[in-house]
């Protein structure tokens, strides 16, 4: 046992009720209280999650060319990644309870590493479908379980840490996409590029993985999935809105800039790039801000800031204003989801591990369903009107701050 944690050893509860607490709020009394090493391992796990999925993004054009498929088929293929994630997300919390965060994160990370080379070399559509489903399932499991660990570690620390954890996911995404793109630009083959990614991931897992939590909850015999209810269901709805906004920036900001602001196709990615950078900056500085102002104020500011950013992009007809607006969306949205996940660690309606699984599934569905929904609305009306609907939904997040703060 780490000497750093020896002072945190707590005695096993004298009764079963004391051990489990109320409404599934576990004391984890037979384990050391998570300390600095567990906080570092949580940050590394978030980095691995963002790094792993971002490594796939630069490989997509190569897969399209290798398979000789058009955009329509490629779009259907990309849905396989999301489908794989949706399969594992609802049950990942229960699996973490039975096998522990350490084992689940380790196993899913190994599966990510095993999938990446096949993403770089798959030579047929059926083969890529299978690999994307497996890769998505592993990514979905990691996303849920790292948030379960984050909830436990933050609660034990007694201070705001969730924004910083999620910030490391953003850093991982930035480094993963940028690193693989750089290697490919230098002429390295896709397979060699992903092998470099695997070396980094395995090195981080071997170095820090032993400090991941060996538990996910004390309710090892609980159900695999419980339908969200009460405040958990409401938080899931709010996460759906925020993830929908993120998906809108990912899939539609470039279209908005090229079709409505006359930006050249070669510069169309600037909108999402600025969105990503401001989100990363917001999250990395978010813990101090949350500690100072509180989660309620973050929800109010975040929702209004993100909605205002969309309004600026729509109503000021210049590409510079649009870029500024997309940057404000990233800044506003950056700390909303971390604050909501912190609330999941405090609520008493559901066990935290099942609540995180349910909310992550609901939120992730916003990324999957949202962009298609926006496309349908834009087809019937206009892309600007579709973006306005997203802005209105973000104002709902701001207005919900009082309800969330009471939980």
Integer Cα distance of 119 and 237 in angstroms:
33
pLDDT score recorded for residue 41: 95
Share of the chain above pLDDT 70, in %: 90
Average pLDDT for the chain? 85
Using H for helix, E for strand and C for coil, what is the string for 300-350?
HHHHHHHHHHHHHHHHCCCHHHHHHHHHHHHHHHCCHHHHHHHHHHHCCCC
pLDDT score recorded for residue 191: 95
* 269 CB-side CA count, 13 A: 3
Q: Residue 223, class by beta-carbon neighbours within 10 Å (0-12 exposed, 13-18 middle, 19+ buried)?
A: exposed
Structural domains of the chain ordered from first start: 31-211 (1.20.1250.20), 230-405 (1.20.1250.20)
Pair 283, 334: CB distance under 8 Å = yes
Confidence band, pLDDT 50/70/90 cuts, at residue 8 = very low
- Whether the pLDDT of residue 29 is over 60: the answer is no
Highest mean pLDDT among 196-210, 262-276, 346-360: 196-210
pLDDT score recorded for residue 133: 94
Task: Specify the range with the lowest mean pLDDT, choosing from 185-194, 209-218, 221-230, 253-262.
Answer: 221-230
Stretch 111-123: mean pLDDT: 94
Pair 142, 105: CB distance under 8 Å = yes
Confidence band, pLDDT 50/70/90 cuts, at residue 354 = confident
- Helix count and strand count (H, E) for the chain: 18, 0
- Whether the pLDDT of residue 12 is over 70: the answer is no
pLDDT score recorded for residue 299: 95
Using H for helix, E for strand and C for coil, what is the string for 175-222?
HHHHHHHHHHHCCCCHHHHHHHHHHHHHHHHHHHHHHCCCCCCCCCCC
Going by C-alpha positions, the residue among 334, 362, 389, 329 that lies closest to residue 234 is 362
Task: Specify the range with the lowest mean pLDDT, choosing from 8-12, 283-287, 295-299.
Answer: 8-12
Q: Residue 343, class by beta-carbon neighbours within 10 Å (0-12 exposed, 13-18 middle, 19+ buried)?
A: buried
| Bigger pLDDT: 310 vs 345 | 310
Share of the chain above pLDDT 90, in %: 50
Confidence band, pLDDT 50/70/90 cuts, at residue 10 = very low
Residue 384's alpha-carbon distances to 4, 44, 268, 315, 368, in angstroms, are 54, 39, 17, 9, 20
- Whether the pLDDT of residue 351 is over 60: the answer is yes
Show the CA angle centred on residue 153, arms to residues 152 and 155, nearest 5°: 65
- Whether the pLDDT of residue 272 is over 50: the answer is yes
pLDDT score recorded for residue 49: 93
Long-range pairs, 380-387, Cβ under 8 A, ≥24:
383/252, 383/255, 383/256, 383/259, 383/260, 384/260, 384/314, 386/252, 387/248, 387/252, 387/256, 387/310, 387/313, 387/314
CB-CB neighbours of 332 under 10 Å: 28
pLDDT score recorded for residue 229: 83
Q: What is the pLDDT of residues 159-189, one digit of tens each?
A: 889 999 999 998 998 888 888 888 988 999 9
* 323 CB-side CA count, 13 A: 13
Stretch 270-288: mean pLDDT: 89
| Bigger pLDDT: 324 vs 71 | 324
Stretch 85-108: mean pLDDT: 92
Q: What is the pLDDT of residues 378-404, one digit of tens each?
A: 889 998 999 999 999 999 999 998 888
pLDDT score recorded for residue 64: 86
| Bigger pLDDT: 252 vs 21 | 252
Task: Specify the range with the lowest mean pLDDT, choosing from 7-16, 293-302, 330-339.
Answer: 7-16
Stretch 212-222: mean pLDDT: 73
pLDDT score recorded for residue 222: 58
H or E element at residue 232: helix 230-260
Using H for helix, E for strand and C for coil, what is the string for 47-115?
HHHHHHHHCCHHHHHHHHHHHCCCHHHHHHHHHHHHHHHHHHHHHHHHHHHHHCHHHHHHHHHHHHHHH
Interhelix angle 336-346/286-293, nearest 10 degrees = 60
pLDDT score recorded for residue 25: 42
pTM of the model: 0.80
């Amino acid at each position: 046992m780490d000497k750093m944690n020896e002072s945190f050893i707590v005695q096993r509860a004298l009764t079963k009720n004391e051990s489990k607490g109320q409404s599934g709020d576990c004391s984890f009394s037979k384990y050391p209280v998570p300390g600095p090493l567990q906080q570092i391992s949580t940050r590394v796990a978030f980095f691995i999650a963002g790094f792993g999925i971002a490594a796939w993004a630069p490989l997509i054009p190569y897969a399209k060319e290798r398979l000789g498929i058009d955009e329509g088929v490629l779009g259907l293929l990309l849905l396989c990644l999301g489908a794989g994630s949706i399969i594992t997300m609802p049950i990942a919390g229960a699996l973490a309870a039975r096998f522990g965060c350490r084992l689940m994160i380790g196993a899913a990370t190994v599966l990510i590493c095993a999938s990446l080379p096949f993403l770089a070399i798959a030579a047929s559509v059926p083969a890529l479908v299978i690999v994307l489903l497996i890769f998505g399932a592993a990514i979905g499991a990691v996303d849920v379980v790292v948030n379960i660990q984050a909830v436990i570690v933050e609660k034990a620390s007694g201070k705001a840490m969730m924004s910083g954890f999620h910030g490391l996911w953003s850093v991982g995404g930035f480094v993963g996409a940028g690193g693989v793109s750089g290697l490919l630009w230098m002429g390295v083959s896709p397979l060699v590029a992903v092998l470099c990614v695997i070396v980094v991931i395995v090195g981080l897992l071997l170095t820090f993985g032993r400090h991941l939590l060996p538990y996910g909850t004390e309710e090892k015999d609980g159900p695999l999935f419980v339908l969200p209810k009460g405040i958990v269901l409401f938080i899931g709805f709010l996460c759906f809105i925020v993830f929908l906004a993120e998906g809108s920036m990912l899939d539609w900001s470039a279209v908005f800039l090229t079709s409505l602001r006359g930006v050249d196709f070669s510069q169309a990615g600037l909108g999402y790039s600025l969105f990503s950078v401001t989100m990363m900056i917001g999250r990395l500085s978010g813990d101090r801000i949350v500690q100072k102002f509180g989660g309620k104020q973050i929800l109010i500011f975040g929702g209004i800031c993100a909605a205002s950013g969309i309004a600026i992009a729509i109503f000021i007809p210049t590409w510079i204003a649009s870029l500024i607006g997309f940057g404000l969306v990233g800044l506003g949205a950056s700390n909303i989801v971390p604050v909501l996940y912190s609330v999941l660690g405090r609520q008493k309606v559901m066990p935290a591990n099942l609540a995180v699984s349910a909310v992550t599934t609901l939120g992730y569905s916003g990324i999957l369903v949202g962009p298609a929904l926006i496309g349908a609305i834009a087809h019937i009306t206009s892309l600007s009107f579709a973006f306005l609907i997203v802005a209105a939904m973000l104002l709902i997040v701001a207005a919900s701050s009082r309800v969330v703060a009471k939980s």
